[in-house]
Copies of this chain bind each other. A is one copy, B any other.
């Protein structure tokens, strides 16, 4: 297994204002290729500290990849730091300089004096062509380590690590990976239902909660990696059954719902109170949503639930606005008025304050009712008590509502 260290260079990454994205991206790619990442370091562009960090990384790992500090300004110190860490001088590379000039000429620019430093290479190393931007990359050896440096512009970083680093990896290591997504059940339940699953012993399992959805990642390295991951995935799917959802191209719950509606040629309407438009926003984030989603209401005020959706005033008076009967009436009203196959409705209290209606017990934040009206079927509902804060209540309620529709669509097709 290849070992690696990633260094991201730049003072702006150390103020907390801007986050390193290049390192995290490469870390993810390394994980998929079975590379053992030993460290991901964000360092200042101070020459001595940078040289120290590079030498330290080269002493630990077989592969060191550096992001940033290769531009034409005096703050760009990665070339000099690599040379210092290797104990060699920098030299001018005529071919690299020609490439820099040609690239700038294509943009109608003439290289300034400082630009020449971009063609410098540590003695014994080589310049790497940049097909996406101006500054060339660098490759050299320091001790037993192969050291690469690429510009920090994300587009250039990704293209060059693909071309010069990632393309050469993985040949000697067989690795496999699969993701299984779950909705409608808490992460702790998922974990409990997977204990003692023998097929999972042969893979690495990681579970990541995403505000109401849970992502399970199964990874394996070695000769029969694919077979072990496939066995683990079947075991997970068998144990979790309909709690697993499948969305096109690794999408989320809203992608699964849009795809399931599109397959059936169905349309859904939404009538939102506590989720305040979030369900609509999630559905319309998906390209092609217009084929399945013609209309939604955000009836945030109680009177508008009556005016727009026809929720009877007597029902509101009897049960209160945050109640299962009101959610059901909202969904039924939305379905009828939009003239569609299905309608989702939500009502609840997002907080931070409890809902106070005259003559009723206050409704605490986190209490939510979801309803689904489906053509030719009884209206279904969920009563939820969700954890605060406000945005978490809204997000979890929206995911549970979409998941209720997803489950109804799946069971439709199998019965």
Contact A42 B44, beta carbon cutoff 8 Å: no
Q: Are B217 and A284 in contact (CB under 8 A)?
A: no
Q: Is A74 an interface residue (CB 8 A)?
A: no
Known: A14-B37, A14-B40, A298-B298. 5 other contacts (CB 8 A): A16-B29, A17-B31, A17-B206, A19-B24, A296-B298
Closest to A31 in B: B15
| Cα separation A297 to B300 with both chains bound (whole Å) | 11
A287 at the interface (CB under 8 A from B): yes
User: 25 interchain pairs (CB within 8 A)?
Assistant: A13-B40, A14-B27, A14-B39, A14-B40, A15-B27, A15-B28, A16-B24, A16-B29, A49-B60, A270-B277, A270-B298, A275-B284, A276-B280, A276-B285, A277-B279, A278-B281, A285-B394, A289-B300, A293-B298, A294-B301, A294-B303, A295-B301, A296-B300, A297-B297, A304-B338
A143 within 8 A of B: no
Choose one: B16, B206, B303, B338; the contact of A31 (CB below 8 Å): B16
Please determine whether B276 and A295 come into contact, CB atoms closer than 8 angstroms: no
Contact bitstring A294-316, B, C-beta under 8 A = 1, else 0: 11111111011000100000000
A-side interface size class: 35 or more
Whether the Cβ atoms of B39 and A53 lie closer than 8 Å is: yes
Q: Is the CB of A41 within 8 A of B38?
A: no
Q: Which residue of B lies closest to A305 (CB)?
A: B295
**8 Å CB contact of A41 from B41, B295, B352:** B41
Report Cα–Cα, A277/B285, bound state, in Å. Answer: 10
Judge if A351 is at the interface, Cβ distance under 8 Å.
Answer: yes
Pairwise interchain contact B308-A295, C-beta atoms closer than 8 A:
yes
Q: In the complex, which residues 187-220 of chain A have their Cβ closer than 8 Å to any Cβ of chain B?
A: 206, 208, 217
Do A296 and B295 touch across chains, with their CB atoms under 8 A apart? no
A283 within 8 A of B: yes
Quick one: closest B residue to A299, CB to CB?
A: B295
Confirm or deny: A360 has a beta carbon within 8 angstroms of a beta carbon on chain B: no
Could you say which of B280, B308, B351 contacts A277, with CB atoms under 8 Å apart? B280
Residues of B within 8 A of A12 (CB): 206
Measured between beta carbons, the chain B residues less than 8 angstroms from A303 are 294
Could you tell me if A391 and B296 are in contact, using CB atoms closer than 8 angstroms? no
Residue A243 CB within 8 A of the other chain: no
Partner of A297, one of B17, B40, B296: B296
Instruction: Give Cα distance in the complex from A304 to B338, angstroms.
Output: 8
**Residues of A55-79 whose CB lies within 8 A of B:** 56, 60
**Residue picked from A16, A24, A297, A304, most chain B C-beta under 10 Å:** A16
Q: Which of B17, B272, B352 contacts A28 (CB 8 A)?
A: B17
Inter-chain contacts of A46 with B (CB < 8 A): 38
Q: Does A30 contact B (CB under 8 A)?
A: yes
Q: Is A43 an interface residue (CB 8 A)?
A: yes
Closest partner residue, chain B, to A284 (CB atom): B276
Q: Which residues of B contact A289 (CB under 8 A)?
A: 276, 300
Kindly list the 5 A-B residue pairs having the minimum CB-CB distance in the complex, ordered from nearest.
A276-B284, A16-B28, A277-B280, A294-B301, A16-B27
Which of B17, B295, B353 lies in contact with A298, CB distance below 8 A? B295
* Assembled-state Cα–Cα distance A40/B44 (Å): 9
CB-defined contacts of A353 to chain B, threshold 8 Å: 287
Q: Are B42 and A394 in contact (CB under 8 A)?
A: no
CA distance A287 to B354 in the complex (A): 12
Bound CA span A28–B12, Å:
11
A109 within 8 A of partner (CB): no
Q: In the bound complex, what is the Cα–Cα distance between A289 and B278 (angstroms)?
A: 14
